[in-house]
Amino acid sequence: MKRTVFLGLFLLSLNALQAEDGYRLWLRYDLIGNKALLQQYRSTLTAVIFPATTPMLAAARQELLTGLRGLLGVTPRSSGTNSTLIVRLQDDPLLGSEGFAIRTTSQKNILLTASTDKGILYGVFRFLRLLQMQEPINRLDITSTPSLPYRILDHWDNLNRRVERGYAGLSLWDWFTLPTYKDQRYTDYARANASIGINGTVLNNVNASPYILTPDWLEKAASLADIFRPYGIRVYLSVRFSSPIDIGGLKTADPLDPAVREWWRKKADEIYRLIPDFGGFLVKANSEGQPGPQNYGRTHADGANMLAEALDPHQGIVIWRAFVYSNETPEDRARQAYTEFKPLDGQFHKNVLVQVKNGPIDFQPREPFHPLFGAMPHTPLLLEVQLTQEYLGFSSHLVYLAPLFEECLDADTHLNGTVSQTIQGIAGVANIGNDRNWCGHIFAQANWYAFGRLAWESGGAAAPYSAAIATEWIKQTFTNKPSVIDSIKQMMMASREITVDYMTPLGLHHIMAYEHHYGPGPWLANATRADWNPVYYHKADTAGIGFDRTTTGSNALEQYAPGARAQWANADSCPDQWLLWWHHVSWNHRMHTGRTLWAELCRKYYAGVDSVRWMQRCWTALRPAIDPERWQQVNMRLAIQEKNAVEWRNACLLYFQTFSRQPLPEAAERPDHTLEYYKQHIIYYAPGTNQ
C-alpha cells in the first residue's frame, strides 16, 4: 500500500504539468488532494464488481474505472466481499428506463442498480460526481430519475461546418472526413453529455440543408450515431421541408401529396436501416424563409403529421418548432407563435412534439415565459433554450444562464402549473464548437453543464437549482476549496442580472446591432422588416419608452391566463424588470425604487458596468487558487466583457438621452465617445453569421 500512495503523489504533481486548457470539462478525475478523504475512499472502494455484457455497460464500466484510477490513484480489485462497489441490473419499476439507485448495504458494500443499461450509465456518472465533489460515500441512499424524458442538444451546425450563432470555432462534426475518420472528440462529447443526462442530439442546423438526407450524409450521421449509442444518446436530424423537391426529384413537397408522403416514408426506412435507434426529425417550417406546408395551403399540423406517420413505424418523433413569424402579419411579433399554434392544439399526431422557445421573441437576456406553455394541453411541448449566447455577448461574456432557464421553468403559467410542468423535455441550442475548451469561454461550459442538470432535475422539489448546480460545476471543474467555490459562485449567480443591466435593463429587449447581435444598436431602423429593428422594440420617443403590449397596445397580454396577466397589466404594479416589455411609460415614470425611469435606467446601465468590474476584481483575487492557463483565459475574456459593457452603457444612454433630454448622473464616468462614434463603429466579420 505504501508504494501505491507514493505513486499517487507523483501522479498528482504530474497532473499539474498537464496543459490546463479546459478540454477536460467537468470530467477531470484528478487525484483527490485531501489525503484523509482519499484514504477513506480507497478503503471504501477496494473492489469493483461490474459485469459488462453490452456496449453501453462496457462504456459505463470503462468510465468508472478511468474515473476511479484517476481520483484514487489506484485500480480497485475486480472481486471482493466487502468495501466493494457492486454494479448490476436489477428490475425496479420505480426507476423507470433511465433512473438508478445507489445504496450502502448492510455488508458495507455500495450497490449501484438500475432496470436498464442506461440507468447504470447515469448511475456511474452520478457516483463519480460524488467523488469529484468529495462527498461522503459511507452511507449512501440515492435514488434518481429524470424529470423530463427528452433532454436534447440542438446543434445549429451547417454542413460546411459553420455554426449559426456559434462562437466556439467550427462545428465539432468534421463532415468531410466522416464516416471514416472518427475524432476522439466525438467520444468525449458523448461522455460529457452522458455525465449530465443528455439523451439526444440534433446534429444539424434547423435552417437545414437538404443534402443531410442524401446517402453520403446519412452514412456520416450513422457513424456519429454509432459512437454516441453506448452513451445513451440518440441522433436526430433537422430536415428541410422541401427535401422531396430538392433532392428527391419531385415537383412538390405538399404534405397531402401521396408521392411526397411515400418519399418521406422511404427516406425514414432508409435512415432506420442505417441508424436503428434514430430519434427523429426537427423541423423549422414557414419561418424566416424556410419552406413549409403553408406553401401548399396546408397547416403546420398537416406537415408535422405527414412526417410523423413516416417515422411512427420506427418509434421516431417529429419535433416541430413553434418559432414562426410571418413576413406579412403586421401584428406584434411576440403574439405570432401563439396565434398560429394555439388553434392547432389537438390536431397533431401522437408522436409530434411542438418546440417552444422560452420567451415569445428570441432568446433575449430577459423575456417573460412564452404564452404557449400551458395553452396546448393536448400537445406535448418541448422547451427550447439557447446555450449559445447569441444575444448575451457570445462566448466573450461570462454569463451563467441557469438562473435565466430556471426563471422560465419555475414561472407559473396559471394554467397547468409551472412551465416545467407543461413540458415533456428541453432542447438546448448548443454552445459547443471545435475550440479546444469546447465553448470558447471556460464559464460557458457551465451553461452546457447546467442545461443537462436542469433537464434532469427540473420537476423536483429541491428548486432553486441554479446555485446548487453552480456548486457542482465549480467543484468538478476548478476546486473543492470552500472559499473559492463561494467566490466563483457569487460571480456566476450575479452574472446574468449584470448582463441584463448593461445590455437591456427594465424590460428592454432586442436592441442589439443587426445580424450579429453582438453590440448595442438601439438606433437601428432600416432593416428589411420592421420587427428586425431595435426601434420597433423599444419605441423610445420624447414622451417615453417601452412596448405597450397591454389592451391599449398590441394586447399580447391577452394570450396569457388571467393570473399571469395580473402581474404585468398595470404599469404601476408591474415589476421593474418587466416594465418596458409591457408598457410605454414616460421618462419620469416613478419606479418601485422611487427613482424616475430615466434615473433608474442610468443607474442600471452604470451598475452593469460596475458589476463587471467587480467580477474582474473577484477573479483577480482568485488568481492564486486557479491554474495559470485557465485563469488567464478567463481574465482576458473579462477584459473584453468590461470593454463591451462600457460600450453598451455609453451607446444606449447617449442614444436614449436624445429622447429623455435629461442629464446623465452627476459624478458618473463620462462616455469616452460621442453617440455618432458608436453609431459609426461597425463590427466586421463577427462570428456566428454567414459572412
Which sequence positions are flagged as catalytic? 288, 362, 390
Q: Which stretch binds a copy of itself (CB under 8 A): 94-102, 107-115, 179-187, 578-586?
A: 179-187
Cβ–Cβ under 8 Å, residues 48 and 64: yes
Residue 637 as a binder of a copy of itself (CB under 8 A): the answer is yes
Residue 685 as a binder of a copy of itself (CB under 8 A): the answer is yes
Cell of 200: 439526444
Q: Which residue in this structure is represented by grid cell 428506463? A: 97
Interior/surface letters 25-39, b for 16+ CB within 10 angstroms, e for the rest: bbbbbebbeeeebbe
Residue 191 as a binder of a copy of itself (CB under 8 A): the answer is no
| From 28, 126, 161, 679, residue interacting with a copy of itself (rule: CB under 8 A) | 161
Cβ–Cβ under 8 Å, residues 597 and 544: yes
CB of 62 to a copy of itself, least distance (A): 15
Residue 684 as a binder of a copy of itself (CB under 8 A): the answer is yes
Cβ–Cβ under 8 Å, residues 402 and 454: yes
Q: Which stretch binds a copy of itself (CB under 8 A): 79-87, 346-354, 429-437, 544-552?
A: 429-437
Cβ–Cβ under 8 Å, residues 77 and 46: yes
Residue 103 as a binder of a copy of itself (CB under 8 A): the answer is no
Where does 609-676 show beta strands of DSSP type E? none
Query: Which of 73/123 has CB closer to a copy of itself?
Result: 73
Residue 49 as a binder of a copy of itself (CB under 8 A): the answer is no
| From 211, 272, 514, 677, residue interacting with a copy of itself (rule: CB under 8 A) | 211
Query: Which of 187/479 has CB closer to a copy of itself?
Result: 187
Residues 527-556 that bind a copy of itself (CB under 8 A): none
Q: What one-letter code names the amino acid at 246? A: D
Residue 40 as a binder of a copy of itself (CB under 8 A): the answer is no
For 234, the 3-state DSSP assignment is strand
Residue 261 as a binder of a copy of itself (CB under 8 A): the answer is no
Nearest to 357 by CA among 384, 388, 379: 384
Counting residues that bind a copy of itself (by CB under 8 A) gives 40
Cell of 108: 458495507
Q: Which stretch binds a copy of itself (CB under 8 A): 523-531, 534-542, 636-644, 657-665?
A: 636-644
Nearest to 319 by CA among 238, 386, 435, 215: 238
Q: Which stretch binds a copy of itself (CB under 8 A): 48-56, 275-283, 292-300, 432-440?
A: 432-440
Residue 1 as a binder of a copy of itself (CB under 8 A): the answer is no
Cell of 331: 401584428
Q: Which stretch binds a copy of itself (CB under 8 A): 209-217, 403-411, 419-427, 455-463?
A: 209-217
| From 434, 480, 487, 554, residue interacting with a copy of itself (rule: CB under 8 A) | 434
Residue 583 as a binder of a copy of itself (CB under 8 A): the answer is no
Cell of 453: 442538470
Residue 435 as a binder of a copy of itself (CB under 8 A): the answer is yes
Q: Which stretch binds a copy of itself (CB under 8 A): 98-106, 482-490, 592-600, 631-639?
A: 631-639
Cβ–Cβ under 8 Å, residues 353 and 150: yes
Cell of 659: 429622447
Calculate the alpha carbon distances from 412 to 109, 341, 422, 572 in Å.
43, 20, 10, 21
Residue 21 as a binder of a copy of itself (CB under 8 A): the answer is yes
* Phi, psi of 48, rounded to the nearest 5 degrees: -130, 125
Q: How many helices (H) and strands (E) does the chain have?
A: 20, 15
141-144, strands of its sheet edge to edge:
47-49, 84-89, 110-114, 100-104, 141-144
Residue 277 as a binder of a copy of itself (CB under 8 A): the answer is no
Interior/surface letters 100-132, b for 16+ CB within 10 angstroms, e for the rest: bbbebeeeebbbbbbbbbbbbbbbbbbbbbbbb
CB of 434 to a copy of itself, least distance (A): 6
Residues 214-243 that bind a copy of itself (CB under 8 A): 214, 216-217
Contacting residues toward a copy of itself, per CB under 8 A? 10-11, 14, 17-18, 21, 158-161, 169-170, 175-177, 180-182, 184, 209, 211, 214, 216-217, 394, 396, 434-436, 629, 636-637, 639-640, 643, 684-687, 691
